């Protein structure tokens, strides 16, 4: 069983008992959020939940205070149908066992409504659509607390599951990633690695390339703005090969547009971010974005769609570091973005309110308050 334990002395100093957490997931190759969250927690012991029958036997033997779930839909991220059914059953039984032992089930609602991606496609298919509805109906009724990345998410959650209105919630914003990923390469060396000219403005869309990020709008607006002083880089693993082909077709062979359709590992993120002058993501919809947090962590200004969660981030980092743009990205708006990117700003944004120790401490405090309610109930 993989686990990492924060020092018990921190719990002793705060006169609080060590919290035993079963996290789903405790770490992920695709997202450093969960690992960074737990690494910065004091007074906790964390095990990684893996939804198999052996995990269920482990949960029967070991008592947990918290079952912390990050994505409800993760049970459906399986290669086969039987694996999905098994994951659903083990997840529900695990939550039930922990709850019957007076533990708490807490969901961090990164995406209150799952994105429409290939990973979530089974939640819309035939009998699996019914399984998804039953699974979420049962699991959400076992929740004892909900952590939200934006205050506006609470109403989204309640509109989907009205019975959650009385469940305690806390707002814990998406932290920055300063110091989490390497950042040693220079701008010149990064551009040389990518074959980009040193004297052009480079706009970047980085991360898993999924339809909700609306790369189509960015490519079309860029293509329709004939400016040889601009370059656009779209980098990350595409949702599907067909989607990648669609984006390439939209580019019409524009030599100013560069595609890197492959997973970008942790060490290589610095190459793309340090080569860029700004990050632009015209989301169709979004309830948070690790890509935005990553860009700000590398001191890259970010232009994103005018959505509630990003208004909250803009309130923290300021208008010089985050620009909110209309949902319909036009060549004219892209011109405004280019002008904005060229404006003077501080060396880096103030991200003190988004540091990991603070967000992790807020999360642990919420865990303990939920457990106290469970004890008093």
Question: Which long-range contacts (C-beta less than 8 Å, at least 24 apart) are formed by 160-166?
Answer: 160/112, 160/113, 161/136, 161/137, 164/140
pLDDT, tens only, 37-61? 999 999 999 999 999 999 999 999 9
Per DSSP, 112 falls in state: S
* CATH 3.40.50.2000 assigned to 3-175+355-376: yes
Could you give the CA distance from residue 5 to residue 330 in angstroms, rounded to a whole number? 50
pLDDT at position 11 is 41
Average pLDDT value over all residues in the chain: 91
Q: What angle do CA 144, 145, 147 make, to 5 degrees?
A: 160
- Would the pLDDT of 290 be above 90? no
Closest by CA to 247, choosing from 222, 273, 280, 279, is: 222
pLDDT at position 16 is 77
Q: Which are the contacts of 105, defined by CB distance < 8 A and separation ≥ 6?
A: 66, 67, 69, 95, 98, 99, 139, 142, 143, 144, 145
HSE (side-chain half, CA atoms, 13 Å) at 275? 27
pLDDT at position 202 is 98
Could you give the CA distance from residue 352 to residue 366 in angstroms, rounded to a whole number? 20
- Under the phi-then-psi rule, with left for phi > 0, alpha for psi from -120 to 50, and beta for the rest, what region is 7? beta
Could you give the CA distance from residue 272 to residue 341 in angstroms, rounded to a whole number? 17
pLDDT, tens only, 113-161? 765 555 556 566 678 789 999 999 999 999 999 999 988 899 999 999 9
Q: Which CATH superfamily is domain 187-352 in?
A: Glycogen Phosphorylase B; (3.40.50.2000)
Share of the chain above pLDDT 70, in %: 92
Look up the pTM and report it. Answer: 0.85
Same fold, 3-175+355-376 and 187-352: yes
- Would the pLDDT of 372 be above 50? yes
Domain map (residue ranges) of the chain: 3-175+355-376, 187-352
Q: What angle do CA 42, 366, 308 make, to 5 degrees?
A: 115
- Would the pLDDT of 262 be above 80? yes
pLDDT, tens only, 69-124? 999 999 998 888 899 999 999 999 999 999 999 999 999 998 877 655 555 565 66
pLDDT at position 119 is 54
pLDDT, tens only, 229-261? 999 999 999 989 999 999 999 999 999 999 999
pLDDT, tens only, 293-322? 999 999 999 999 998 889 999 999 999 999
108 SS3 class: strand
| Sign of the dihedral through C-alpha 252, 255, 257, 262 | positive
pLDDT at position 376 is 78
User: Dihedrals φ, ψ of 195, to 5°?
Assistant: 70, 35
């Amino acid at each position: 069983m993989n686990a990492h334990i924060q020092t018990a002395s921190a719990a002793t100093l705060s006169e609080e008992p060590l919290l035993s957490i079963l996290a789903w997931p405790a770490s992920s190759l695709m997202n450093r959020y969960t690992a960074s969250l737990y690494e910065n927690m004091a007074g906790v012991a964390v095990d990684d939940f893996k939804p198999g029958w052996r995990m269920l036997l482990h949960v029967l033997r070991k008592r947990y205070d918290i079952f912390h779930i990050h994505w409800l839909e993760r049970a459906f991220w399986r290669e086969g149908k039987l694996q999905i059914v098994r994951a659903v059953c083990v997840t529900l039984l695990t939550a039930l066992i922990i709850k019957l032992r007076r533990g708490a089930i807490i969901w961090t609602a990164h995406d209150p409504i799952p994105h429409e991606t290939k990973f979530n496609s089974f939640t819309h298919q035939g009998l699996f659509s019914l399984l998804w509805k039953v699974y979420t109906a049962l699991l959400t009724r076992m929740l004892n607390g909900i952590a939200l990345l934006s205050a506006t998410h609470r109403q989204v959650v309640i509109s989907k599951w009205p019975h959650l209105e009385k469940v305690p919630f806390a707002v814990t914003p998406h932290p920055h990633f300063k110091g989490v990923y390497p950042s040693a390469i220079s701008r010149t060396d990064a551009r040389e690695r990518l074959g980009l000219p040193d004297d052009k403005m480079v706009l970047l869309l980085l991360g898993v390339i999924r339809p909700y990020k609306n790369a189509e709008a960015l490519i079309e607006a860029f293509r329709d703005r004939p400016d040889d002083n601009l370059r656009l880089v779209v980098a990350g693993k595409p949702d599907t090969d067909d989607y990648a082909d669609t984006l390439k077709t939209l580019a019409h062979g524009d030599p100013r547009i560069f595609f890197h359709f492959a997973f970008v590992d942790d060490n290589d993120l610095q190459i793309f971010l340090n080569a860029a002058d700004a990050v632009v993501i015209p989301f169709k919809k979004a309830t948070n974005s690790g890509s935005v947090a990553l860009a700000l962590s590398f001191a890259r200004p970010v232009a994103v769609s005018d959505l509630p969660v990003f208004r909250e981030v803009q309130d923290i980092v300021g208008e010089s570091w985050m620009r909110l743009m209309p949902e319909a990205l036009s060549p004219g708006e892209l011109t405004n973005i280019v002008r904005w990117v060229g404006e003077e700003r501080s060396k880096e944004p103030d991200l003190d309110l988004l540091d990991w120790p603070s967000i992790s401490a807020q999360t642990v405090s919420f865990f303990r308050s939920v457990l106290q309610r469970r004890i008093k109930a």
